[in-house]
Structure 1
Amino acid sequence: MKGILPLGTVAGIPVRAHWSALGLAALIVAVLGGVVLPRAMPGLDHRHYWPVAVVAGGLFVASLLIHELAHALVARWCGLKTSSITLWGLGGSTELEEEAKNPRVELVVAAVGPLASLGIAALAFLTSLIMPRATLPASAVVWLATMNLLLGLFNLLPGAPLDGGRVLHALLWWRSGDRSRADRGAARAGHMLGAALIAVGLFGTLLWGWLGGLWLLLLGCFIVAGARQELTFKVARVGLRGLLVREVMTPEPDLAPAWMTVGEFVEKVVLGSRQTVFPVVTFTGAPIGCVSLFNLMTVPRARRSVTRIETLTVTRRPVRVLASDDEAIRLLEQPIRGLLIAVVEGGRLVGMVTSTDLDRILGQALLRAGTNAVG
């Protein structure tokens, strides 16, 4: 995902924010300061609303982080590795490096996030009871309780990719003992849930105005797309079993020496190559990233003789590296960085896996598994 801003680590887990999370925070503050708080406490100077709106908005974003941290910490307690937490415009996501080994673990990890949100809602509501009534802070705390209540309940809706969809998946898996069957059941539920939200959003646009209907429409589209993507990923994992990276990679690719000028590289390598992406390597042959035809075309002809490849490198260290005899299923562990994964043997780059290669093997995996995206 592009536009990611690292925020640091919490309990040893990297926390990041997509640029859309900043838009979400700004929207929350704007709605609180411009609409919610003035309606709850009318007649005050507008300068009083905005500081409370900023604090309440910050606390809500923090509650989203707590929701995701609950997933991550319980997953780690259950023996699952967590790679990162990412906040974005529709909430957040916890990226696990591996799937649950049994339905009980999946159920606990999935359910703890919504329960954390409901716990925050209960705590905020109890706090509002002991605060002075008819004050801006009390109104903000009630709003915070309400939003976390809605967040927790919404995430418990039974459909992938929501937490409730994973709870449903765990229960179906537990009952049938068939993980693939549970995959399909949770995906179908997510598809139906998303379609229902889209329908309600379209209908609601006529009744509530465009803002409320558009929000439900957006959520519905997100759920439908997420359900399809999640099932595709899980089926692809089954289809990739038994394959090795060497069967997927592009072997002995043309390389881009970091010290070479663009003009020299274009004349000596690019014009005679079938590749559109080139691994960038150092003097020792270690990969540090990649450069594409598009990157090269951005350099004016007059500057090609003085511009070095290293200045155009898309991804710098650390570059994701695999061995040729690794299982191909490892290609799905993390997104491809900078358009490729380097395959290294004995310190020398012997192959690469590009995003195009990954798309190809995912399609082949789905065909091998005998399914479509939603099945």
Structure 2
Amino acid sequence: MLTYSIRRLLIAIPTLLFISLVIFLILEMAPGDPLADQPLTVPPEVREKMRAALGLDQPAWVRYLLWLKQFFWTEPLHLVDSLLGTGFADPAGRIVSWQFRAPAMDIIWQRLPQTLQVVGLAYLVGVIIAVPIGIISAYRQYSWFDNIGTFVSMVGFSVPTFFTGVVLIIVFAVNLHWFPSIYDTTLKVTDWESFLKQARQMVMPVTVLALFNASQISRFMRASMLDNLQQDYVRTARAKGMGEKVVVLRHVLRNSLIPVVTVIALGIPTIFGGAIITEQVFKVNGLGQLLITAIYANDLPMVQTLTFIFAALTVLFNLIADVLYGVLDPRIRYD
């Protein structure tokens, strides 16, 4: 397995380089000018100096190589320097956001906790809810529990999150006044009272995202369980006198988790990408909202950095899912 993992990591290097090139070229061909919002009274020579300061006077291939150098060399050195205080990082060579006039990774690190608190917790809650629902729905197929679970899953997956979010705001924030409608990103948890405020403002966005994630994962879990419950090895295990609990939880569930692990693992990068629509509805100042504002402001360095981070996380968790296949199914070999 170690050899397989190393080989996959080596293959991931040209994959990520190709992805970075595609991202850079797409954003390079996108219309818009980062200096379009400047007043018309700005002299042409001053405008040219501003373009040179942003690096726009360089050819596209030079800017691409500089971006790769900043992302893979300068930013990691700065991270090591921040953690260890070694003093060999070069802050001047970092990727700078045109919109915030600050290093892009610093802005991302500032927004990341908000995204992980809301989107990460919602994804975790969704997985914890979805797996038992899928198992019970498959084992008790066509029962009242299965019918209710199917109905709730279809509604949760079909109704868009912006609609669900607005409905929760109208019912629980406007009419009942149970929860705040706007997420306060400046709130710091220092005592029990602030913790309760933080928990109250997280209830609605976490509920919206958890319902959406649980609806999708529970359907995969149910379908995979139904497929394995009809296999010959299940009938053989029951004929040998194994208990129903052992058959379902040890044999059927383990094999059924293989496709579900893929769905869960490939969904984890979306946590770091943020929930763009839900963050807009509840005013969560996370990475999803950061990406939207960067697109509106034509902030190419920030958009390139965020998009490439999402792509790299997708490649990484795809590898993790492939490795977990061998843990769940002993028949899978990586030789």
State the TM-score bracket (shorter-chain normalisation).
under 0.3
Higher strand share: 1
Structure of greater relative contact order (alpha carbons < 8 Å, 6+ residues apart): 2
Higher helix share: 2
Q: TM-score, normalised by structure 1?
A: 0.26
